[in-house]
Amino acid sequence: MKSIVRIGLLLFLMLSSAGLSAQFYNGMQMNFGKNRVQYNNRYWKYYRFERFDVYSYENGTDLSLYVADFVEKELALIERFFDYDIERRMIFLTYNKHSDFRQSNIGLVSEAEEYNIGGTTKIIQNKVFLYFDGDHMNFERQIRAAIAEVLVSEMMYGTGLKANMTSSTMINLPEWYLEGLISFVSNPWDYEMENRVKDGIVSGKYSKFVNLQDDDARYAGHSFWKYVADLYGVSIIPQILYITKINKNAESGFHYVLGSKLKELSIDWAAYYLGMYASTEENAGLPDQGKILEKPNKRRVYQNIKISPDGRMVAYVTNQKGQYKIWIHDEATDKHLRIYKRGERLDQIHDYSFPELAWHPSSQILGFVTEEKGELKFHIYNLETRKITTRNLLYFEKVLDLSFSPDARKLVFSAVVDGQTDIWVFDIAASTNDRITNDLADDFNPKFINNMNNISFVSNRRRDTLFMENDPENNTTTAFAVYVYDYAGRNPVLQKISEGDYINHTQPLSPRRNEFFYLSDKNGIVNRYYAKYDSTISLVDTTIHYRYFANSFPLSNYKRNILSHDINTETKEIAEIVYNERKYHMYKYPMEFEKKFGDKLESTVYKDRHVSRLTAEDSIHHVEKKVISMKDIADNQLVHQGDTIELQEFTIDINKYIFEREKLNYYNNQLRDINLNLVLDSTENKRMMYIDYSTSFYPNKLVNQIDFSFLNASYQAFTGEHTTIIPD
């Protein structure tokens, strides 16, 4: 009997071993021709922390440390939100860019799994895959979403094999439910989210949101969970999840906790947002002239619109499920010429960060940057010969924006190097690079202005001084402002042009000295503004610091966000892209400088709430605490910067003994108000060793299928003759 049990156990292990896959890649499990092409070998290492590991490869060390610092703060907050602690150690795999991430076999299924007609029970894992797109705020949202997804999966489906098989088979949650909840936790709300939700609600697309898929399901689900949080409080969400898990039904969670059926809630949800957006829809509008395409393809994303210096051509990019094309529209002939096409249409995570476009001052050349085969390439398209010249851009991981200098000898671009997005000047003839900024702040939209004497760009930096080394902590904020750098004089003190806190100003264009056009979400919708600025002395220390203030007024009053714009100051024309009625619309029309909408636009309902939330988040995120060792405390006194701080006496009750960790918390509660933080030992803050990765395996999927081949063997084809089959 024991031998039979052993043989059965051995057969089970042999059969189930097919469900094991490597931690990073499916590797040798993939059939011939099914592996994705990998252009570079990766040498992986990792940092090990108390509750998670962070993996990275070459040039990714700083990025992995950024992930570790952020996870240490956010993990506890997300667990508190769901009232649930993740049991398993989390593993974060950090890719330097999206194109590196796409070279892995993550998400690729083998032929055997593709044609399996049985059931596939996914075993919920603790692995998180991240990639950096050049924007640290997007990266942080990605980390939050990843933590939330692991937590919700573990909370709903459990951690063990038996629990996974039972729960994932019985609980079938709709796409809007999970994707919307994860999106809500990662980023409760912003103007981009409101723009898409507003369009879906007003157009009627979300009238039956339970049947939505992909982005529509995520946006509608996000807004639904926000509606629940606004009406009942965020603390009600873990209760809904718990009841859903118990009853194994999504609708029962809302019914038992909120007392309303899902259909009734969906009607109230739509009415809630329609009421919120009614005023904006009535008082704001959209361009009524200059459509570049009368019928844009609703399956395509239109982006990066650029007017040629002579005003005759408009270049733009389309992206459809990962396949991108570069087009040039000739206004004289009204024809659209496709000059470049790459990529395949696939259902996967798409990268919209490239290609980036820039017109040559002569208007006869269009420059653009792409990512191909793991490398950055700079292309020059000649409109006369219709030929493309290509060269490699070495040293950089990504280029997020670029612009030619007026003399066409240099390029200024926003580029990613070692997990930082900074401003660089590239000499085209010499192929040399000149670094302008070097800090953790994200810098975008650079342009030469004032005859190449200055460079304008947008940044989320706090300080107006450039630090090429020893970048100070907490030098970032949650909003982007316009800055001007003295390129001719190399003055490290920047001019900050934007006005107001927690208001984003992006895509600045300067027609003349001290004048700017830019996009701003000042009223809750991204509109175009004109600003003329002046300066006054704000601080005198080792040098004179000026405060630059702007007198601005709106040039547009749209009911949808302007996603991309360009202005030709010679021909006085505007080109822009607006998303409305589930399509991207492109416009080009004469620019008006009149103050048609007054000094400011009417704010949306959400705008004030959003600014209040950003203020609270920013103050919490950037509180600077001095770290001091417990060894510095003597006789319940702490001497810090010449001041003696008296602490309440700490006594030990032998019946209720307090460990050293609890003693640490006792002192920290007293020091919280003065932003001091004690640690058990100053050596505890040192980083763990950067450990070489060695391959390990985890169960990833258990595939089960009923096979009738044994039974079918007893049947034979009928030949017309009577045959008697006698079993052996």
Per-residue model confidence as pLDDT tens digits over 100-120? 888 776 555 544 444 343 443
* Token pair in block for residue 660: 């050293």
Cα distances (Å, whole numbers) of residue 624 to 45, 169, 477, 598: 30, 48, 14, 41
Taking residues 571-580, report their average pLDDT: 95
217-237 burial: b if 16+ Cβ within 10 Å, else e: bbbbbbbbbbbbbeeeebeeb
Give the pTM: 0.81
Cα 501–chain centre separation: 22
The pLDDT value given to residue 28: 39
Which residues have C-beta within 8 Å of that of residue 659, sequence separation ≥ 6? none
Confidence of residue 193 (pLDDT cuts 50, 70, 90): very high
Q: Which residue has the higher pLDDT, 661 or 433?
A: 433
Question: Percentage of residues in the chain with pLDDT exceeding 90?
Answer: 50
Using the 8-state DSSP alphabet, how is residue 38 labeled?
A: -
The pLDDT value given to residue 390: 96
Taking residues 649-666, report their average pLDDT: 50
Which residue in 439, 446, 484 sits closest to 461, CA to CA? Answer: 439
Q: Is the pLDDT of residue 615 over 80?
A: no
Q: Which residue has the higher pLDDT, 55 or 660?
A: 55
The pLDDT value given to residue 727: 53
The pLDDT value given to residue 618: 61
Q: Is the pLDDT of residue 689 over 80?
A: no
**Whole-angstrom distance, CA of residue 646 vs CA of residue 636:** 6
Q: Is the pLDDT of residue 463 over 80?
A: yes
The pLDDT value given to residue 664: 58
The pLDDT value given to residue 489: 93
Cα distances (Å, whole numbers) of residue 444 to 253, 359, 421, 423, 494: 44, 18, 8, 8, 15
The pLDDT value given to residue 705: 61
Q: Is the pLDDT of residue 711 over 70?
A: no
Q: Is the pLDDT of residue 93 over 50?
A: yes
**CB of 223 within 8 A of CB of 229?**
no
Taking residues 518-547, report their average pLDDT: 81
Per-residue model confidence as pLDDT tens digits over 229-253? 999 999 999 999 999 988 888 888 9
The pLDDT value given to residue 27: 42
The pLDDT value given to residue 633: 56
Confidence of residue 272 (pLDDT cuts 50, 70, 90): very high
Of the given ranges (17-21, 97-101, 601-605, 641-645), which has the lowest mean pLDDT? 17-21
Q: Mean pLDDT of all residues in the chain?
A: 81
Q: Which residue has the higher pLDDT, 716 or 82?
A: 82
Which residues have C-beta within 8 Å of that of residue 278, sequence separation ≥ 6? none
The pLDDT value given to residue 585: 97
Confidence of residue 676 (pLDDT cuts 50, 70, 90): low
Cα distances (Å, whole numbers) of residue 203 to 207, 274, 483: 9, 11, 38
Taking residues 608-630, report their average pLDDT: 60
Cα distances (Å, whole numbers) of residue 614 to 86, 474, 502, 607: 27, 15, 7, 11
In DSSP terms, which residues pair with 535 in a beta bridge?
548
Taking residues 416-424, report their average pLDDT: 95
The pLDDT value given to residue 117: 39
Taking residues 373-387, report their average pLDDT: 94
Per-residue model confidence as pLDDT tens digits over 36-80? 677 777 888 889 998 999 999 988 889 999 999 999 989 999 999
The pLDDT value given to residue 415: 97
Question: Percentage of residues in the chain with pLDDT exceeding 70?
Answer: 72
The pLDDT value given to residue 401: 96
**CB of 368 within 8 A of CB of 341?**
no
Which residue in 495, 400, 490, 500 sits closest to 456, CA to CA? Answer: 495
Most confident stretch, 90-94, 209-213, 545-549: 90-94
Taking residues 139-157, report their average pLDDT: 91
The pLDDT value given to residue 576: 97
Using the 8-state DSSP alphabet, how is residue 27 labeled?
A: G
Q: Which residue has the higher pLDDT, 678 or 226?
A: 226
The pLDDT value given to residue 459: 96
The pLDDT value given to residue 662: 55
Of the given ranges (89-103, 457-471, 579-593), which has the lowest mean pLDDT? 457-471
Cα 681–chain centre separation: 36
- Per DSSP, the residues of 342-397 read E----SS----S--EEEE-TTSSEEEEEEEETTEEEEEEEETTTTEEEEEE--S-S
Taking residues 316-326, report their average pLDDT: 95
Most confident stretch, 212-216, 411-415, 626-630: 411-415
Q: Is the pLDDT of residue 728 over 60?
A: no
The pLDDT value given to residue 685: 43
**Whole-angstrom distance, CA of residue 50 vs CA of residue 90:** 10
The pLDDT value given to residue 667: 57
Taking residues 580-605, report their average pLDDT: 91
Q: Is the pLDDT of residue 164 over 60?
A: no
Please name the residue ranges forming H helices in 378-513.
none
Confidence of residue 645 (pLDDT cuts 50, 70, 90): low
